Amino acid sequence: MSGEWWDVAVIGGGPAGYTAAIRLAQKKWKVLLVEKDQVGGTCLNRGCIPSKALIHLARVKRKAETATPMGLSFAKGLVNWEMVQNWVQQVIGSLRSGLETILRNSGVVVERGIGDIIDEGRIQVEDGGGKRREVKCRAILLATGSVPAKPSFAPEGLVLTDEEGLFLPRLPSSLIVIGGGSTGVELAWLYASLGVSVTLLEMMPRLLPAADAEISDLLDRSFRRQGIKVLLSSRVTQVLPTHNGIEVRTESGETVTGSVVIGAVGRKPNPPQNAVSRLSLQEVSDLAPSRCYQWGQCLVVAAGDLLYGSGTAHGAIAEGVETARMLDQWLRFGQFPPYAAPAPVPYCAFCHPEVAGVGITEEAAYKQGRAITVGRFLIRASGPARIEGEGDGLIKVLADSKTGKILGIHMVGPYVTHLAGEASVLVSQGLTVEEGLKAVRIHPSWSEGIGEALWAALGEPLHSLHLGRR
């Protein structure tokens, strides 16, 4: 392939990169995708997929152990961790194989190696043996993602990253998770449900600081009822090895000891080594699609976690689609169209209860001085909740008080991540509460909860005695 010209060289095969590569190839452009490890990126190989596979296992165990009131008894679930990890690898391998097939059949050429920028319209690919070669291209898309941020308060290797925390050699007796964001709460619930004594520390006053406050508070209470020790407003200052494990100290003087410590303290951009210096940029975010970089006759853009440090796979996929659209226009007509930002990106946490939401939160609306109506529905009043023995959960709808436009939907409860798609449509399309109620939702189903919250926002609750409105 040396000396060949490519229309687009994509460096990084994660959700943003492979999505853009597939879309561009479908437009009949000649696309080279350079990936140093495995296609699918962090999400498929070390993040979303393995974590959700393990969480599914934990849910199966929980369901079995709570079925006695229904007249079904199981022996206490015993976890064969080695078999579990082998199964997780099978899941990852199957999905990765499918993605490789899609890329190949779409016409994307995938090359294993480390990609970097050399000069205008030229990149370098270094294979595993250190051999380097140059590739020429009309456009370069950087999508090299992010890496876990490592805490400064601990010696190297003492605190595991959130990625390493998914592939422990054995289940520990006790675990400390530092960080109460989405990744942290998922890891805490996962291991607690498998019988590990878990302490979860968050430096902010509540879990999931970016989520709606009422939703975060409900999750916090549920976690405590499930036996997870939650310490809020707890900024970690030091992590030390001791004779009986690892000691974590906080700014307020608290001390916690565990056999394993996982730091879920966010991620940071992982740009190619020479990208920023070669392009004379202040920072890698200058390569965002809205600020494309014209380098002579070559166009350079970036997408995904590389820009934001810590994003979501679904957000990266949406951005990959939009970036491919813009590159297609530039390749055809020589003009880079205005960037159309994707719809609001939902947040989520796959613990129990699950958390999902999209759009403005209640506290943000009040800070902005917006007049809103809030419709609330307690999930325990629904048929599916009674059938499955679930009690924790709330769905709330935020709407503009004057126009009725739906501004945000926030949820905590069983399977609410599966409702996030409907919530995203309602918010992103600018529908009103009355327009959202035109859809007929299956009974009995979890999706009825969104309808009930919409009814409550109108002041006309159906399957709830209280108004649930404020």
* Model confidence pLDDT, tens digit, residues 378-397: 999 999 999 999 988 999 99
Question: Is 162:310 a contact under the CB 8 Å cutoff?
Answer: no
pLDDT reported for residue 343: 84
470 band by pLDDT with thresholds 50, 70 and 90: low
Residue 78 has pLDDT above 90, yes or no: no
Question: Per-residue pLDDT averaged across 110-130, rounded?
Answer: 92
Question: How much is the pLDDT for 310?
Answer: 66
CATH number for the domain running over 160-264? 3.50.50.60
Predicted confidence at residue 66, as pLDDT, reads 87
Residue 308 has pLDDT above 80, yes or no: no
Stronger pLDDT, 273 or 46, i.e. the higher one: 46
Distance CA 49, CA 55 (A): 10
Determine what percent of the chain is predicted with pLDDT higher than 70: 96
Q: How confident is the model at residue 294 (pLDDT cuts 50, 70, 90)?
A: confident
The yes-or-no verdict on residue 467 having pLDDT over 70 is: no
Residues of the chain with CATH 3.50.50.60: 5-148+268-333, 160-264
Query: Is residue 406 very low, low, confident or very high in pLDDT (cuts 50, 70, 90)?
Result: very high
Q: How many percent of the chain have pLDDT more than 90?
A: 79
Select the more confidently predicted residue: 77 or 444. 444
CATH superfamily of 5-148+268-333: FAD/NAD(P)-binding domain (3.50.50.60)
Q: Which comes out higher in pLDDT, residue 286 or 225?
A: 225
Name the amino acid, one letter, at 425: V
d(CA 338, CA 332): 15
Q: Mean pLDDT score of the chain, rounded to an integer?
A: 93
Catalytic residue among 56, 243, 410, 443: 443
pLDDT in tens, 207-262: 999 999 999 999 999 999 999 999 999 999 999 999 889 999 999 999 999 999 99
Mind listing the pLDDT tens digit for each residue in 172-211? 999 999 999 999 999 999 999 999 999 999 999 999 999 9
How, if at all, do strands 114-119 and 298-302 pair? unpaired
Q: Which CATH superfamily is domain 353-457 in?
A: FAD/NAD-linked reductase, C-terminal dimerisation domain (3.30.390.30)
- pLDDT-based confidence at 156, cuts 50/70/90? confident
What would the pLDDT profile of 323-373 be if each residue is shown by its tens digit? 999 999 999 998 888 877 768 999 999 999 999 999 999 999 999 999 999
- What pLDDT, on the 0 to 100 scale, is given for residue 309? 61
Answer yes or no: is pLDDT of 447 > 80.
Answer: yes
What pLDDT shows up at residue 466? 63
32-46, 326-340, 406-420, 444-458: range with lowest mean pLDDT: 326-340
**Cβ pair 302, 115 in contact under 8 A:** no
Q: Where in the chain is the domain with CATH 3.30.390.30?
A: 353-457
Four-CA torsion 113, 117, 119, 122, nearest 10 degrees: 40
**In one letter, which amino acid is 449?**
G
Taking the C-alpha atoms of residue 65 and residue 117, their distance in angstroms, rounded to an integer, is 54
With beta carbons less than 8 A apart as the criterion, state whether 143 and 302 touch: yes
Write the CB contacts of 455 (distance below 8 Å, at least 6 apart in sequence). Answer: 375, 437, 461, 462
**Confidence (pLDDT) at 77:** 75
- Of the candidates 43, 77, 75, the one whose C-alpha atom is nearest the C-alpha of residue 59 is 77
56 classed as catalytic: no
Chain segment 257-285, per-residue pLDDT in tens: 999 999 999 999 898 888 777 777 767 77
pTM: predicted TM-score of the whole model, two decimal places: 0.94
Q: What share of the chain is helix, strand, coil (3-state, %, to 5)?
A: 35, 25, 40
Predicted local confidence at residue 275, as pLDDT: 79
